[in-house]
Amino acid sequence: MKFAAAILFLAIAVCGCVSRSEANAQARAAFISGENEAYRQMAAQQQTGVTIAGPVQNHKVPWVDGLTLAQAIATANYLNANAPKQIIITRNGLQAKLDPDVLLNGTNIPLKPGDAIEIVP
């Protein structure tokens, strides 16, 4: 019996003993930390998006993974009855000019967060 008590005492000494209030405090801190990280991620997703200049209803399109140019224009709700004459994508200060027929041919053009798109009617 003394041997079992000694082993139990050593196990507690090695593993440490945490009171219920300490365990609750640790759990609460872990929960708050996880909650704060989730809020940071949600805020980052809202801040990053794609801006669209031109005849559209929504000039800011929220970022989603895999967003394409066609999806962004559809989400922005293009308002002009005529097809655009040109589409300009600006990424990191570099511009790429596109013929809108590229989209009509079914070509997927992936976008990145922070891209700026200008639709020239």
Q: Each residue of 42-91: pLDDT tens digit?
A: 665 555 799 999 999 999 999 999 999 999 999 999 999 898 999 999 99
48-120 has which fold? Answer: Outer membrane lipoprotein wza fold like (3.10.560)
d(CA 9, CA 3): 10
Tokens matching residue 115: 């891209």
Percentage of residues of the chain with pLDDT beyond 90:
46
Contact call for residues 119 and 58 (beta carbons, < 8 A) = no
